[in-house]
A and B are shown apart, each in its own frame.
Chain A
Amino acid sequence: MTSMPKPFIDKHLPKNKLGLTVRNYEGSMSTLCAGCGHDSVTAALVQAFWELSLAPESAAKVSGIGCSSKTTAYFMGQSHGINCVHGRMPSVATGANAVNGDLHYIGISGDGDSLSIGFGQFAHAIRRNLNMLYILENNGVYGLTKGQFSAAADIGSTTKKGVPNEQTPIDPCIQALTLGAGFVARAFSGDKSQLVPLVKAALMHKGFALIDVISPCVTFNDHAGSTKSYAHTYKYYHPLVHTDFVAHAEEITGEYADDGAMRVTLHDGGELRLRKTDTDYDPRDKAQAIETLMMNGGDGEIRTGLLYLNEDMPDMHAANKLPQKPLNQLPYEALNPGKAALASLQKRYR
């Protein structure tokens, strides 16, 4: 961690459409270990929000418990947010989303928070197709309690003292695919050129968007025996697809024409351009996605990028016919239709 907040100097910085610099999207001083991957994920979120020219107050940050869950304090200090019970972030996000679907929900969780205590919550948020960006900062250990293996630790990966893990890992991306998520991606905190566009795409995707970010624990899981260290990840890093988000307003220009990219139109009119960096990978083929992740190519490489995308699934609001307008904007009469309406409702259950 650092000893002082980052000085606020933005004289030299470009402004976005709202007249804000990237500095306006930052938050409090991080108290994570120096070199923690989570701080880079934070920086990627700040950059993506700034690039999209989204107002900081249009975001709601939700998190559970863990090193990862602390990070919501470190970006967009002017947005809404709640840091709630361990593993229960999806429930709180569901409630908030139900009453106000206008906000951009950013759930920040870790491999412990999502894959152990909150595993059920994680699964059901996906099933509901909650419209949110769900970032799983995955470092394979419980850093906050001094480095015990998490459910994401690979077989054979060792502790700092050399003891290997022998239990099978849970792969959050495979889980999300089998549970029906419409946006599943894997990224690495050390590569913002991939992570920032993925965050933008995920924020613009209508429905549940999972980004499993390998985010090394610099203190407890960044040693030679680790499979989630910086060195290991750089060595086996293998992007499959490069994603660019093009906002609605930017329209298709010469710059992008005929670059061989696969184009996917999003619900709000923006467009995703997916460029294969690997032969024959089709991010709309769920079976291929699952196969790729399960077989792992037999080479130990870590395949990253937007692994699967399906824009045609109704999100929670659509599926449950919830009012599109946030409840805080509905008139009192609509929120409280009165005694007669209550009587009529009760009558239906008699």
Chain B
Amino acid sequence: MKPTDTRDPDYFHKVVDCQWACPAHTPVPEYIRLIAQGKFTEAYLVNRRSNVFPGILGRVCDRPCEPACRRGRVEEEPVAICRLKRVAADNRDEVSHLVPQKPAATNGKKIALVGAGPASLTVANDLAPLGYECTVFEAHHRPGGLMISNIPSFRLPEEVLDTEIGYIENMGVEIRLNSRIESLKGLMDEGYDAVFIGSGAPKGKDLRIEGRDEADANIHIGIDWLESVAFEHVAKIGKRVLIIGVGNTAMDCCRTSLRLGADDVKVMARKPRQFFKASPWELEDAEDENVEIIVNHSPKRFVVEDGKLTGMEFELMEYELDEDGEITETRKAGTTIIPCDDVILAIGQENAFPWIERDLGIEFDKWGVPVVDETTHASSLPGVFFGGDSAFGPKNIIWAVEHGHQAAISIHKHCQGEALDDRLPRGVNLASAKMGVNEWMYSNAYDGSHRRDMPLVELEARLSNRKMEVELGFDAERIKTEVQRCLNCDVQTVFEAPLCKECDACLDICPVDCLAIVPDGEEAALRASLKVPAANKEQALFVSQPLKDTGRVMIKDENLCLHCGLCAERCPTAAWDMQDADIFIPHVDNEAGKVAAE
């Protein structure tokens, strides 16, 4: 097998599974180490550079990092990465003077941003400090996009949102509220150098079945209803509520219902639990509040009596699954009527662009979605960029942030007359973590503690106040324990083949048996030759240069390595070394050749 080229910037990045999984590539182990040292402010700023909204995301992120966490492969639960992000935000000192600042002078380039959601705000965050004049147009009377309109304040308090948006406003970004853009042409005629569209996916899907129109007064579209609650147009709902759909919006709808007077809330799912779209923790939080989740019920009709909604009829579904858990057969086994006072539809959302004239030169596909370049976020009309849910359909906040970072780079290049796809490559900078004999710049001892749980406000208290944040945040003991659970995957095992004397010391001490010295061969044979065969093909197999005494190769399964550094401690020749890998993720300030204040 070809020896592994660890100079490829993505090789060590992939080993830091959380950072690799994070769309914005937040350096998770780095900020967890800072928290461990009590450097909450620094941890917050490291986060902010990547994900812009640590306080918000520390509460409501979709957490793609956690299922990826290496810890989950050696014990039951991943590190509570998202909780620790909130720890950094909760315990930080004043940072308003440490975040990027309003520049002394602007560069005269004017950027219009449509929608004050996470994507547009990120673009403004990246561009304003470089001198771009950013104007954000927001239809509602408050900025935040879905972060304010769709995420209930019992999960994300308004102050947290306001503070983090405030940092961006302070950079000289103008946010024009109550300014819905009705015509892109009209906006472009105002003479902007570039337009960024981050208007989200604001159209909730409807369910056109029998009884829909007659019962309209008691049928609500989930995202619209959440928005009405957030902006205090709606303050109550019936006692018995059915939620159709089991995504994260459905979870917000059912929990909000409980706070507006409902006491019998059922979430109705068409398929079994393993097919749910909601994050497991959001399902748990809802069930914790006594929401009932009912599977295998497919909506048939709304039951209307005397012009009023009294219930909903469902088909009872039965599914045959194959070995891989895929549905092979679907059967209907009768129907049932479940009485209710209100129904909330949370079955998906779409983007909608009635305000974009089709003759401007922006190409739309057959579903009415704009054609957007996945790297540059450029549309087919030079100078118009898309990001967030409006670009590729509904995703989540952290994806919107990453779209914003990438679009900011493109907008800068567009304004400077540079090629959009001539972007800085990612990089990796390695520095030995060795401080002395068996002393490392990180806490390498494996801590066997289990994941700390989140303390919650008592059920009765939280249901009585829609705005009371349910999660209390981690206390000192939880912080102290949870930070030690991080395996520091960014401290890499780096191997120098010419130094190895094949003493087997590293193989013997490795607590997860992920090393072997074997004759070279094909990848499949090498993977099988480890004491515990390297079955996870998603994870790389490291293969060294041939060793000097026998010509064999050192192999390492990157899947199970704990980064404990015992191989490096046992190595008599320092052929194994632990090196801190600083993954360089270029942002627009790097492109502009300037280093922002943070």
Contact = CB atoms under 8 A, between A and B. Distances in A.
Say whether chain A's binding surface is mostly helix, strand, loop, or mixed. loop
Contacts of A1: 438, 569-570
Nearest to B535: A12
A22 B531 CA distance: 11
B566 interface: yes
A137 to B, nearest CB: 14
Nearest to B503: A35
Contacts of A22: 513
The majority secondary structure among interface residues of chain B is loop
A7 B562 contact: yes
Interface stretch (A38-46, A127-135, A238-246): A38-46
Given A7-B511, A13-B532, A35 B505 contact: yes
A13 B562 CA distance: 15
Interface string A69-113: 000000000000000000000000000000000000000000000
B446 interface: yes
B244 to A, nearest CB: 40
Nearest to A42: B508
Nearest to A7: B446
Contacts of B566: 2, 4, 6
Interface string A151-195: 000000000000000000000000000000000000001101000
Given A13-B532, A235-B549, A35 B571 contact: yes
B504 A43 contact: yes
Interface residues of A, number: 32
B111 interface: no
Interface in A184-225: 189-190, 192, 216, 218, 222
B503 A230 contact: yes
Given A9-B562, A34-B505, A190-B504, A3 B570 contact: no
Contacts of A235: 549
Nearest to B517: A190
A39 B73 CA distance: 27
A348 interface: no
Nearest to B551: A234
A33 B572 contact: yes
A231 B502 CA distance: 9
Interface in B502-522: 502-505, 507-509, 511-513
A266 interface: no
Interface in B560-581: 560, 562, 564, 566, 569-573
B508 A39 contact: yes
A76 to B, nearest CB: 15
B75 A11 contact: yes
A140 interface: no
Given A35-B571, A218-B572, A13 B513 contact: yes
Contact of B504 (A3, A14, A40): A40
Contacts of A43: 504, 507-508
Contact of B549 (A12, A36, A230): A230
A29 B83 CA distance: 35
A123 B502 CA distance: 33
Contacts of A33: 572
Contacts of A305: none
Interface string B326-350: 0000000000000000000000000
Nearest to B548: A231
Contacts of A230: 501-503, 549
B567 to A, nearest CB: 9
A37 interface: yes
Contact of B572 (A3, A35, A190, A234): A35
Q: Which of A7, A40, A218 has the most CB of B within 10 A?
A: A7
A12 B560 contact: yes
Interface residues of B, number: 32
Contacts of B439: 3
A39 B505 contact: yes
A218 B505 CA distance: 11
B74 A11 contact: yes
B504 A189 contact: yes
Interface string A32-60: 01111101101100000000000000000
A7 B509 contact: no
Nearest to B75: A11
Contacts of A36: 503, 505
Nearest to A35: B572
A40 B510 CA distance: 12
B314 to A, nearest CB: 41
Nearest to A3: B438
Nearest to A2: B569
A12 B181 CA distance: 56
Given A3-B438, A216-B503, A230-B549, A12 B508 contact: no
B501 to A, nearest CB: 5
Contacts of B560: 12
Residue of B74, B448, B570 contacting most chain A CB atoms (<10 Å): B570
Interface in A17-40: 22, 33-37, 39-40
A36 B505 CA distance: 7
B321 interface: no
Contacts of B573: 35
Contact of A3 (B507, B532, B569): B569
B432 interface: no
A42 B532 CA distance: 19
Which of A189, A190, A235 has the most C-beta atoms of chain B within 10 angstroms of its own C-beta? Answer: A190
Given A2-B509, A3-B438, A234 B562 contact: no
Contacts of B532: 12-14
B98 interface: no
A9 B512 contact: yes
A190 B562 CA distance: 24
A40 B570 CA distance: 12
Contacts of B549: 230-231, 234-235
A277 to B, nearest CB: 15
A34 B501 contact: no
A114 B505 CA distance: 25
B503 A218 contact: yes
A235 B509 CA distance: 25
Given A218-B503, A231-B549, A34 B569 contact: yes
Contacts of B513: 12-13, 22
Interface of A: 1-4, 6-9, 11-14, 22, 33-37, 39-40, 42-43, 189-190, 192, 216, 218, 222, 230-231, 234-235
Q: Please name the 6 residue pairs, one residue from A and one from B, whose CB atoms are nearest each other, closest first.
A: A35-B572, A7-B446, A3-B438, A43-B508, A234-B549, A2-B569
Interface of B: 73-75, 438-439, 444-446, 448, 501-505, 507-509, 511-513, 532, 549-550, 560, 562, 564, 566, 569-573
Given A2-B570, A14-B532, 8 more contacts: A2-B566, A3-B439, A3-B569, A34-B570, A34-B571, A35-B572, A39-B504, A42-B508
16 contacts: A1-B438, A2-B570, A3-B569, A7-B562, A7-B564, A11-B75, A12-B512, A12-B560, A13-B513, A13-B532, A34-B569, A34-B571, A40-B503, A216-B503, A218-B503, A230-B549
